[in-house]
Structure 1
Amino acid sequence: MIGGNTMKTTSVNSKNKRYTALAWILAILVIAVAIPLNLIFDRMNVNFDMTPNSMYTLTKTTQDYLNELDARGEVVDVYFLEKMETIENELELLALYRTLLAYDEHPCFNLIDFDPDTDPETLRKINPDNSFNLSDDDFLFVHGDRVKRLPASLMYTYDMGKDSEGNQIVRDAEFRAENYFTGYMKSVIDGELPTVYFLTGHDEVPLSKMSKLQANLKNYNYGAQELNLTTADAVPEDCCILIIADPKYDLTDAEYEKVYAYTQLGGNISLLLGPNQNEVAYKNLEALTAGYCIGFNYDRVSETDPNRHSHEETYAMMCDIMPANPESEEDLTAELVSEENSLPTYMPYSRSFYENFGSNYTACSIDTLIQTATTAISEPYGGKDLDPVSKEGINHKLSMYSIDTLRNNSKLVVFGSADIITDEGTGAAYYINPLQLFLTSITWMYNSDVDMNISNKKRTYDSLDVNSDKEATMLMSIFIGIPAIVALAGVVVWLRRRDA
């Protein structure tokens, strides 16, 4: 009996030793295979996208389009104002790095990365007249004579929040580059450059006196041309926005009909109508703005409070950029009213506007963009009013917008002065905010980007708020204690099986 138990024990121990040896051999084999495979994949630059939303993999929409361009022999030079090796190990930019590598595998996407500080020649080549306001990490898409700038700031959008101590943190982020990259390629290949037309024939500000604005429009990927509707049969089909910059005379009836027909198709109007001392009645311009339920006064607004105008230029009066109506889906002023913008807002002597309750008022979405303090005064100026009166003690509206849903969401934006977009006006630092608002209104009325309907890819940032030492101790015991107990239990089981 004793001999039988001895043989049984020996057999079990021998069996356990064989299992233990086999386990060690398997572990060593796994390590021996895994390490060389990782080294081989790293050398071959082979990666597997294990993210739940395929963060580093191009969508089928993009792959199909790139394959089509490859088959056609199309090539877009994509200049990246940063060297790829500088972002290779940046965790926050990993999605951008992997996405660029995926695009660059296609011959149609010719990625040219360079450091503008050490390679100024390439910078001069792609931006010879400095018309593009380029920054580090920006992109330029070039195909023939068509060029589009893609700011680096558009690559990600962040949802910011605050922790329990009030510190600002990133709650999650969305990677948006793929929709832009593919859309910009399509834009420069197909030649889809939206054009902004400037009306002429009424002593408006000529385009030649708005060279800085033209550079800004080019930087925002818009073309600019003049338009004379006394000779043109209609507003051109490629007109995304019609700008009327400080006309001294009214539109003719024939011109008004052409502009009205353009708005009926969803066309957009930007009217900058400054004070005009001449006795001119803008009958057709009044009809045009009234169609959007906005009216304008024949006046000139100035500031009476000496603390609210420039000491160097008395006509530069301090105004307020207005936050968007919380009930509105539109927001043109978010960046300008944020805490990050500490610049005061100035406007020159301006014309004022008001809401006009027309028959289509309920179909229009109207809001104020810039208004004065109640210390400003509106004085009669020009026009043909029989009994003009001054207005004081109220907030005068110097800029507004309206969307008419009955005309395919046609948009109108009005400003009480055109000085904010002229070379002379933009040379002064006072009008930075109104100029930026004007440029924002351009992109709001017509977005120049081609939307490929590629969804953003969200990256979630996990965070853990600990409110007390007691809570911290409890969490430490959970995260450290429980794995330790499980490991200890495993050791005990192994020892018992070894001695069995």
Structure 2
Amino acid sequence: MAQKETNKRKKSFGFTAVALIFAAISLAIVVMINLMVSRLDITWDLTPTGIYKLTDTTTDYLDSVDKKVNFYFLQDMDELSTVRELMPLYNAMKEYSSYDCINFEAFEPDSEPEKTKELKKLGFELSSGDIVVECEGRSKRIPRYTMFNTINTPSSDGKQSRSSFYFTGENIITGAIDAVVTGRETKIYFLTGHGEKSVDTDYTKLKTNLAAHNYIAENLDLISKDSVPEDAAIVILAAPKNDISDNELKTLNDYLDRGGNICFWMSPNDAELDYVNIEKLLKEYNIGMDYDVVEETDPSLYVPNDHTIFMCSLVVADETTDIDITSELRDIVDKGGAIPTMINSRSFVSIYNQGTNSDHVFNGSLLQTTDKIGDGSSTAIGRPYGGAKPRETLANSVLDLAMYSTDKARADSKVMVIGTADFMDDDNIDQAYSTVLVNLQLSVFSWMYDSELALDFGIGNKEQTVDEMVIENRSKAIGTNVIFIAVPVVVGLIGGAVYLRRRYSE
């Protein structure tokens, strides 16, 4: 009997020893595999949208590039890696930097002021998180705020909304790289046929400056065309004396439906006519246009003997919007670098289109008359000027001098209005009082076009998702608990009971 017990214990010890050896070997293999994978820096992206890796479209394109692209990322990579929401951008930067055609450099602009200064010589206002790509003297800036997009979708009952967070950076970055590699120039078209200012006679200096930034300015006559050219990045309507036609309205709306961008430089016009079709277009973007000329009544705010040249205020976006066009300019103004000054302007107003597009049209102000005491009042007035019907003087409240709007339901099309076309013409563009307005318009160009693809690679936005389970009622919750909690516990108890029975059985 004693011998039998001894043999049993030896046999049990032998099985245990073998099990421990296999466990140790398995653990060693797992550790070695993990060490090998970590040294190889291999990652797997199991997300539904592939948000942590570049698409085949981008990787195939980068493999084909035979020129060296200088890629400057104005942010510390180590700091970026610690923010979970920014991991898609962090991983994208790592992948872009791994290609032979990319000369990648990441740094914080404040900690490397000399490098930042050199990049600013390319003509960009830069801030942390921006990207600059450069190839053979051609350069493009990608603002930080274009990398991600948040869309709130209201529920059917209107009580809740779902926030979807998208990484849009790959589409934009790959397009920008292609733009500087190929040297393909961006077209800005100036509409003609309505008594506008001409790009060839009134904006020759602007045309030259745009060419230095890979923008080509050309005329566009829509009266003889049925569509806006496919290569149009931006269309500008500069001080039209007459309204656009019904056919032009349709053509411009078709362009906006494709994600187009239009700037309306609407100088005051003393003619007794209404811009009926232009107003129809602007109404879809929740912008109304006044028929007035803005005059400042406070002598400390206007140029002596000219009430129509006056100091105004930049409007900086608050935390409720992802659209930031003016904050960098505001930093310059606050440091005493320039004073926002308006020249011969009409005013605009934000309208709400009967609530039909409030969930997909987002607009805001860029410039306003000065509110000296911060109570929403202003000493500027909007004196009636032109138009087909009598209008009242606008007084006491702050007036909008420039506005922006975008429609998410129309392929992110964008519209900008400003109450003057004089600030960019040859007589004013180099004047100190036009500095802020000129830079504001360049920021709008960047928002409109650089936030879109320089070339459409067809890379969709990648939604940042998390796995979730929706349990509709109490009975389903109990069933879920049984499946995921009770069943594993029961199986574990049965396994333990079987083990103990065999362990202590004769």
TM-score grouping bracket, smaller chain normalisation: 0.5 to 0.7
1:354-373 equivalent positions in 2, closer than 5 A: 369-370=364-365
- Tell whether 2:417 aligns with 1:414: yes
Aligned twin of 2:123:
131
How many residue pairs match? The answer is 422
Alpha carbons 2:196, 2:238 under 8 Å: kept: no
- Tell whether 2:28 aligns with 1:32: yes
Whole-angstrom distance in 1 between the partners of 2:316 and 2:166: 29
User: Following TM superposition, by how much is the alpha carbon of 1:90 offset from its aligned partner in structure 2, in angstroms?
Assistant: 4.0
SS in structure 2 of the partner of residue 49 of structure 1: coil
Aligned twin of 2:383:
379
Residues 282, 272 of structure 1: alpha-carbon distance in 2 compared, 3 angstrom cutoff: farther
Could you list the per-position Cα deviations for residues 212-240 of structure 1 after superposition, in whole angstroms to 9, with x for gaps in the alignment?
9959x95xxx725254879x999876333
Structure 1 spans left out of the alignment, 5+ residues: 161-170, 324-330, 357-361, 463-478
Alpha carbons 1:88, 1:97 under 8 Å: kept: yes
Larger radius of gyration: 1
Alpha carbons 1:274, 1:417 under 8 Å: kept: yes
User: Following TM superposition, by how much is the alpha carbon of 1:17 offset from its aligned partner in structure 2, in angstroms?
Assistant: 0.5
1:188-227 equivalent positions in 2, closer than 5 A: 188-189=180-181, 191-198=183-190, 206-207=202-203, 218=213, 223-225=215-217, 227=219
Whole-angstrom distance in 2 between the partners of 1:94 and 1:455: 15
SS in structure 2 of the partner of residue 132 of structure 1: coil
Whole-angstrom distance in 1 between the partners of 2:452 and 2:169: 20
Aligned twin of 1:13:
9
Alpha carbons 1:138, 1:150 under 8 Å: kept: yes
User: Following TM superposition, by how much is the alpha carbon of 1:270 offset from its aligned partner in structure 2, in angstroms?
Assistant: 2.2
- Tell whether 2:141 aligns with 1:149: yes
Aligned twin of 1:182:
174
SS in structure 2 of the partner of residue 15 of structure 1: helix
Whole-angstrom distance in 2 between the partners of 1:90 and 1:319: 34
Residues 397, 145 of structure 1: alpha-carbon distance in 2 compared, 3 angstrom cutoff: closer
SS in structure 1 of the partner of residue 140 of structure 2: strand
Alpha carbons 2:267, 2:419 under 8 Å: kept: yes
Q: TM-score if structure 2 supplies the norm length?
A: 0.58
Residues 83, 495 of structure 1: alpha-carbon distance in 2 compared, 3 angstrom cutoff: farther
Of the structure 1 ranges 134-143 and 87-96, higher mean CA displacement relative to structure 2 is found in: 87-96
User: Following TM superposition, by how much is the alpha carbon of 1:113 offset from its aligned partner in structure 2, in angstroms?
Assistant: 2.0
Aligned twin of 1:427:
435
User: Following TM superposition, by how much is the alpha carbon of 1:25 offset from its aligned partner in structure 2, in angstroms?
Assistant: 0.9
Match for 1:242 among 228, 235, 246?
A: 235
Whole-angstrom distance in 2 between the partners of 1:39 and 1:245: 63
Aligned twin of 1:270:
263
Alpha carbons 1:175, 1:458 under 8 Å: kept: yes
SS in structure 1 of the partner of residue 464 of structure 2: strand
Matched to 1:300, the amino acid is: V
Match for 1:453 among 451, 454, 459?
A: 459
Could you list the per-position Cα deviations for residues 440-481 of structure 1 after superposition, in whole angstroms to 9, with x for gaps in the alignment?
87459976563523341526599xxxxxxxxxxxxxxxx9xx
Aligned twin of 2:275:
286
Aligned twin of 1:474:
none
User: Following TM superposition, by how much is the alpha carbon of 1:18 offset from its aligned partner in structure 2, in angstroms?
Assistant: 1.1
Aligned twin of 1:167:
none
SS in structure 2 of the partner of residue 147 of structure 1: strand
Whole-angstrom distance in 2 between the partners of 1:124 and 1:322: 26
Identity of aligned residues (%): 25
Alpha carbons 1:297, 1:352 under 8 Å: kept: yes
Q: TM-score if structure 1 supplies the norm length?
A: 0.58
Residues 389, 147 of structure 1: alpha-carbon distance in 2 compared, 3 angstrom cutoff: closer
Residues 154, 499 of structure 1: alpha-carbon distance in 2 compared, 3 angstrom cutoff: farther
Aligned twin of 2:69:
77
Residues 104, 420 of structure 1: alpha-carbon distance in 2 compared, 3 angstrom cutoff: same
SS in structure 2 of the partner of residue 292 of structure 1: helix
SS in structure 2 of the partner of residue 414 of structure 1: strand
User: Following TM superposition, by how much is the alpha carbon of 1:188 offset from its aligned partner in structure 2, in angstroms?
Assistant: 3.9
Whole-angstrom distance in 1 between the partners of 2:27 and 2:249: 75
Matched to 1:178, the amino acid is: E
User: Following TM superposition, by how much is the alpha carbon of 1:437 offset from its aligned partner in structure 2, in angstroms?
Assistant: 8.5
Residues 492, 457 of structure 1: alpha-carbon distance in 2 compared, 3 angstrom cutoff: same
User: Following TM superposition, by how much is the alpha carbon of 1:410 offset from its aligned partner in structure 2, in angstroms?
Assistant: 8.8
User: Following TM superposition, by how much is the alpha carbon of 1:131 offset from its aligned partner in structure 2, in angstroms?
Assistant: 0.7
User: Following TM superposition, by how much is the alpha carbon of 1:21 offset from its aligned partner in structure 2, in angstroms?
Assistant: 0.6
Alpha carbons 2:146, 2:451 under 8 Å: kept: no
Of the structure 1 ranges 450-459 and 489-498, higher mean CA displacement relative to structure 2 is found in: 489-498
Could you list the per-position Cα deviations for residues 13-32 of structure 1 after superposition, in whole angstroms to 9, with x for gaps in the alignment?
12220121112212221233
Residues 402, 35 of structure 1: alpha-carbon distance in 2 compared, 3 angstrom cutoff: closer
User: Following TM superposition, by how much is the alpha carbon of 1:494 offset from its aligned partner in structure 2, in angstroms?
Assistant: 7.0
Aligned twin of 1:475:
none
Match for 2:346 among 351, 356, 360?
A: 351
SS in structure 2 of the partner of residue 427 of structure 1: helix
Residues 491, 212 of structure 1: alpha-carbon distance in 2 compared, 3 angstrom cutoff: farther
